[in-house]
């Protein structure tokens, strides 16, 4: 019996290296999300990544979910100094005082922002409410930040958010599907480009 050889699908090059990275790329990265908790999670994790590899953060994601109450903004906003000290001893997350404190501050800022409009609606307004579909041929073509991520960064900082630089926010926009930054020959590019808002 002759067995057909199944070629693996083309993927964005950054997804190589581990089954966890492949699964994240294939099943999550770039899929439009309008879920507040998921967006808060991505805001936290992308901020935590500053200076580190994404694979490190991805390995610690379950630790972050446990440590930060499943990214429930109301619960995290109630964290105090004792929680910061507890989290500094938690090996399941990046033990960086500034990054831990910023997550708590960001939860509080998110609740204030929510009084004006839903957080997801606010974030998506920076791309006109629908995913931007790019057509990058190579990973090297992807920008580290955009006008939209710079505008979002400025406004979030004005509202009291921290660890929200334009590069961090562009990574969030990519992860949450505000932009489709899969390269055009990646097997995920076409389905996400056709999915629309």
Q: Backbone phi, then psi, for 132, in 5-degree steps?
A: -85, 130
For residue range 26-57, list pLDDT tens digits in order: 999 999 999 999 999 999 999 999 889 999 99
Catalogue the active-site residues: 24, 46, 54
Query: For the chain, what percent of residues have pLDDT higher than 70?
Result: 95
pLDDT at 68: 98
What are the E-state strand segments in the chain?
A: 132-133, 179-180
pLDDT: which is higher, 13 or 7: 13
For residue range 93-135, list pLDDT tens digits in order: 999 999 999 999 999 999 999 999 999 999 999 999 999 999 9
CA distances from 191 to 34, 163, 185 (A): 18, 32, 12
Residue 2's pLDDT band (cuts 50, 70, 90): low
Specify burial of residue 40 (Cβ count, 10 A radius: 0-12, 13-18, 19+). Answer: buried
CB 90: neighbour CB atoms within 10 A?
15
Cα–Cα distance for residue pair 45/103, rounded to 1 Å: 9
Residue 9's pLDDT band (cuts 50, 70, 90): confident
Tell me: pLDDT of 8 over 70.
no
Range in 19-23, 73-77, 150-154 with the lowest mean pLDDT: 19-23
**Domains of the chain listed by start with CATH number:** 18-195 (1.10.340.30)
User: What does the mean pLDDT of the chain come to?
Assistant: 94
Tell me: pLDDT of 162 over 90.
yes
């Amino acid at each position: 019996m002759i067995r057909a050889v199944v070629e693996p699908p083309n993927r964005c090059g950054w997804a190589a290296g581990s089954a966890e990275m492949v699964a994240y790329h294939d099943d999550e990265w770039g899929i439009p999300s309008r879920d507040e908790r998921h967006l808060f999670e991505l805001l936290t994790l992308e901020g935590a990544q500053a200076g580190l590899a994404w694979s490190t953060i991805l390995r610690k994601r379950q630790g972050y979910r446990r440590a930060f109450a499943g990214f429930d903004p109301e619960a995290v906003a109630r964290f105090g100094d004792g929680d910061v000290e507890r989290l500094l001893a938690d090996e399941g997350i990046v033990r960086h005082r500034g990054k831990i404190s910023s997550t708590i501050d960001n939860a509080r800022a998110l609740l204030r922002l929510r009084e004006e409009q839903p957080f997801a609606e606010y974030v998506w307004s920076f791309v006109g409410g629908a995913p931007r579909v790019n057509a990058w041929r190579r990973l090297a073509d992807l920008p580290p930040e955009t006008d939209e991520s710079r505008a979002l960064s400025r406004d979030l900082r004005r509202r009291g958010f921290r660890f929200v630089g334009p590069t961090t926010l562009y990574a969030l926009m990519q992860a949450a599907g505000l932009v489709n930054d899969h390269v055009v020959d990646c097997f995920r590019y076409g389905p996400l480009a056709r999915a629309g808002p």
